[in-house]
Structures are given as C-alpha cells and as structure tokens.
Structure 1
Amino acid sequence: MGLDDITRRVSAAEIAAGRAPGSVTLIAVSKLQPPGRVEAVLAQGHAVYGENYVQEAQAKWPAWSAAHPGVSVHMIGPLQSNKARAAVALFDAIHTLDRVTLARKLAAQMAEQGRRPQVFVQVNTGDEPQKAGILADELPGFLALCAELELAPSGLMCIPPEGRDPVPHFRLLRRLAETHGLSGLSMGMSADFEAAIAEGATHVRVGSAIFGARAVG
C-alpha cells in the first residue's frame, strides 16, 4: 500500500457511492511517523495531514509547512484544554472538540488570535464511558453553546467502538449532522474508510496504510 493506492481507493469509493470526484478529503495521519516517511509523502504533493499530539506537531510542522505552501495540518487526537492556545495557532482544523471547557478555551483563543481553524464536534456514537465525545442526546445543547461562543462547527467526528460494525455509527453521525445542518463528516480510518465514504464521509483519516506501520504508539 501507499499514498497512490489509498488515493485510488478513495476515488473508487467516491464513484461507487455516487459522490463527486474529490468530495472526500484524505487526511494522512502522520503522528509518530519517521520524518523520512512524511517527507516522502510531502514530496508526492499530498497536502492534508493529521496529528494527535500538539507538542509533536509543533516540533515538525512549522518547518514542513514553510517548505510546502498549501499544506494543511489537522488535530485529530484528544486535545487538552491547556493546549488550546497552541492548537489554534498551529492547526487548520480541530476534529476533537468534545467538552464544554474545551469549547470555551478554543473560542477565547480564536477571538484573541484572530484565527479560526475549522472545528468538528466529536460524538461518542457508541455511548462508551471510557471514550471522549459528546453523547448523541446531548449534542443539541452542546451545539447551542457553540453557537453562543461563535465557534460555528462545520461538522461532526466519530470513532466507532473497536471490534464492532462501524456502519451503524457512520449512519448515526450522518443523521445527526443532517438534523443540525452540518455538512462535515470526519469518519473512517484505514480499516473502514471505504464504508465511511459510502455513508457520506467528507474527511477520512488514514495513517499506516499510507506511511507503513509505526514503530511506536
């Protein structure tokens, strides 16, 4: 596998689902990958990357972004409230808005910095107590708070329960997004991105299938 293979599969999944070509954004998950692997994908012209850790992203992406104009870096991992300032400054999109305290911190930092990365609300579609995310029945109130804070989320994100059929979770996320007038659906990873595209994903997050297995993490 590799970037070319995954790009072809994304395009084929778009066609199979009757989606417009290029309607799905492929996020290459570069967290914990050796620099040489990421630089090879950058050299191929891929523009959208995903990171899980603010400190790791700070250490590498400013230089890479300067060398590759047009690159977009997305935060796809859990975000601590005390890293909100750095996240707003660094990332072009934040996929893991999952609680009220973080919403308030992000809103304050966007106002202070005059920078507005795209925001997705993470939904805990499996109602898993150990997993981050807004519960489906709490989403209306949370989105109302976001509106008060002028956060204006563009979509929703989910990580289906491990070992279970992801499709019902993708469908739930799509229904929730449609109900609330949100167009973005960040869902689907290496093992299930084609199913996610069939269910309406606008952003899929693929790491090892592009870069190879990570040594750690």
Structure 2
Amino acid sequence: MSQSITPKKNLLKAERVDYILQTLQAMYPEPPVPLDHSDPYTLLLAVLLSAQCTDARVNTVTPALFARADNPYDMAKVPVEEIKAIIRPCGLSPQKSKAISVLSKMLVEQYDGVVPNDIEALETLPGVGHKTASVVMSQAFNVPAFAVDTHIHRLAQRWGLTNGKSVQQTEKDMKRLFPIESWNHLHLQIIYYAREFCSARGCDGRVCKICTTCYPLRKHPKKVLKP
C-alpha cells in the first residue's frame, strides 16, 4: 500500500507572525533608512517629500535642497518659489514647498529650531501626517512606532495579519501582533521585502517565499483592498 501524504497546511496567525519575524530578521538584520539625511530636520523634509514619490527620486532632489538650507533657520528665509523649483521633480511641489516653508518657520518660532520628539507635536506641522510623524519618531529618535505605507498595507493583507479596511486598522493590528521592540526594524524590513520579492505586480499572494510558506494551500490571488 502506498502511504498517504498529508497536505501542507496554511500557518496559523501566531505561526505566521513568528515565521515572518524570523525570516525578515535573517534577511535584513540591520535595515538602513532609505532616505538620505543627516539629522531629524533633514529626515523630516525627506519623508515629507516622499509622499507620492519614490525614495530614490527624493534622494536625487534633497542634496540641492539641503545645500541651499539644511536647518529651519535658513530654510525659513528661502522664498517658497525657490523651494518649489528645487523640489519640483518630487511632485506636488506647490503644496510641499509651502509646507516646508511654514513648518520651518514654526520650528523656529515654537521649538527653537529643534524638531520635537513628540508625535502629536509633529502632527501639528503642515504637511506632516501620522505616517510621516511615525517615520520620524522611529528613524530619527528611535521611539517605537509603526508607520504603515502602501507596501506594508499590501503585505499585511497578503499575510493575513489585517482585514485591510484602512491604514489605521492595519497599524493597530500590526502593533498588536508584533512585539514593540521589533516595530522600528520591522517597518523597514517589510518595505525592503515588498520591493524586492512581494511587489504589487511581482506577487499576488502565491509567489514569494513568505506568501507560499504562510499559505501553501492558497489557490487564488489574494485581493488587496486599497486604503
């Protein structure tokens, strides 16, 4: 008699969380911050510029911007039109240039030119939403935060970690599932993995290593709900 073969089973959520953590830590033990910067202020501007723009494009634009002004005091004196001309390749330059100018003046007037180490204070600055503030808190100040971008939102759904109804819900679910000490690295690790192995077009939930390990019985593409 031939032995029956037990089919692989999809991993339980706790098993998926453990596998994802171990796999990403082995692949990206010290993930670098993808946006070039020298301090919290330059990181803040780089993250602001990255909205609807690639990190690679931002990194080609910020050298000229920071050569013109790399601190709030100097940037507050730069005409908005000049800022707009420099950052035009990043897109949304009218809104972003105004935000950079106004937030620089606010930092000078309200915080003595220092980027506040407080997520609520950061969110009061123009052009700085919750995601941008979370990135600055985690990458500039090493305070645990879990910024959710389109990559993380997509993979969290493919890996069955959230129902994906909103970015806010995804952030809440990821914080609940993963230990707080992993958040800052994990945020970057997922982004790097998404770009390299589980992109919007490169994987549909049945292609990459993590997807196929977590869901070996998945037969149809995983539909991802956009935020």
Specify which structure has the higher proportion of strand: 1
- Please confirm whether the aligned pair reaches a TM-score higher than 0.5, indicating the same fold: no
The bucket for the TM-score relative to the shorter chain is under 0.3
Give me the TM-score of the superposition, normalised by structure 2. 0.25
Whose radius of gyration is greater, 1 or 2?
2
